Amino acid sequence: MTYGKFAPFIHTDRTVSFMEASYLIALLPCVAYAVFMYGIRALVLILTSAFLTMFFSIFLARCNHKAKKISLNGVTSGVLFALMLPPDTSLVIVVAGSLFMSLASEMIFGGVAFMPVNNPATARILVELMWPEHLRGFAEAGGRWFSLKSLISFGRTSSSVGSQLEDYHIGELMTEGYPSYIGLCSVLIMVIGIIYLIHTRTVRLTAPVSYLTAVIAIRISLHFRDGIKSNLSFVLVSGIIFVAFFLLTDRATIPQNRPGGIATGIICGILTAGAFELTDGILPLCVPVVSVCLISGLIEYLTSDASERHEIVKEEA
């Protein structure tokens, strides 16, 4: 026999590992800025979350007698989860969130690729509902750079934000950072990561762009009397940009076809804009994402080609 494997014999370098690594690299600017802004505690939070998520995934898989390799998916989930936490979060909450993410993905659904909902967003909602008073530690930048006290204390925290949003200049909101969740404090830094993601063509932009368009359009239509600065401040500080490009680009839970991506983005945007009218914080960001993920299968089905829906198309003779 003189023949063997079927073609093709070359392959693009954009493998799953490459895409996972790109995602992680895109988050590094947010990680670095978080450490710069909030000190070592932010670094410890992020590293702990990433390590524990990966560790628990491997451990639980081994408990199920499944061989599991170290995957960047767990690390990325852990980093995303940590970036949505306030700087004064206790490590207890991080451990709980990491354990939940690993349990949900490995034990219940058999892997991150099979999760029906966004793992970090779900874990964040869970810890928010379980310990709402322990996740209010928004710190000002600088000061306690080497302090690790907040990591080991599990007391109720109160918001330590001194200044109001209106006191911040637009430029300050983009660069110096409004006290917020550790990864969401600077849009400019986020944009660096987003540009990298787009450059590596790792993500599709239909859902994020549709989401942002819907949120901004609804926000402006409801709050146009508040002025440009107020609406722009909302866009920069609320975290919708982070959600758009780092949660709504999850291939496993968001439809990847164009109509599906647009529909998902719009629905999520409407829910987010509406939720922000009722409350603020992390819930208006994460709850719509998780809700849309639950129906993403239906959205994908309805927006797919007719033949996929088993519809009979009668052709003219």
Q: Rounded to an integer, what distance in angstroms lies between the CA atom of residue 73 and that of residue 181?
A: 22
Task: Return the number of the residue (62 or 258) whose C-beta is nearest other proteins.
Answer: 258
Task: Return the number of the residue (117 or 215) whose C-beta is nearest other proteins.
Answer: 117
Number of C-beta neighbours around residue 272 at 10 A: 28
The CB-of-43 to other proteins minimum distance in angstroms stands at 30
Q: Rounded to an integer, what distance in angstroms lies between the CA atom of residue 81 and that of residue 84?
A: 5
Q: Could you give the dihedral angle defined by the CA atoms of residues 122, 123, 124 and 130, in that order, rounded to the nearest 10 degrees? A: 110
From the CA atom positions of the chain, what is the Rg in Å?
Answer: 21
Instruction: Give the residues lining the site for other proteins (CB under 8 A).
Output: 1-12, 14-16, 18-19, 111, 113, 251-252, 256-257, 305, 307-308
Task: Return the number of the residue (10 or 278) whose C-beta is nearest other proteins.
Answer: 10
Task: Return the number of the residue (19 or 96) whose C-beta is nearest other proteins.
Answer: 19
Task: Return the number of the residue (2 or 164) whose C-beta is nearest other proteins.
Answer: 2
The CB-of-24 to other proteins minimum distance in angstroms stands at 15
Q: Rounded to an integer, what distance in angstroms lies between the CA atom of residue 273 and that of residue 255?
A: 21
The CB-of-308 to other proteins minimum distance in angstroms stands at 7
Q: Could you give the dihedral angle defined by the CA atoms of residues 101, 102, 103 and 108, in that order, rounded to the nearest 10 degrees? A: 90
The CB-of-96 to other proteins minimum distance in angstroms stands at 28
Residue 15 identity = T
The CB-of-283 to other proteins minimum distance in angstroms stands at 28
Q: Rounded to an integer, what distance in angstroms lies between the CA atom of residue 283 and that of residue 280?
A: 7
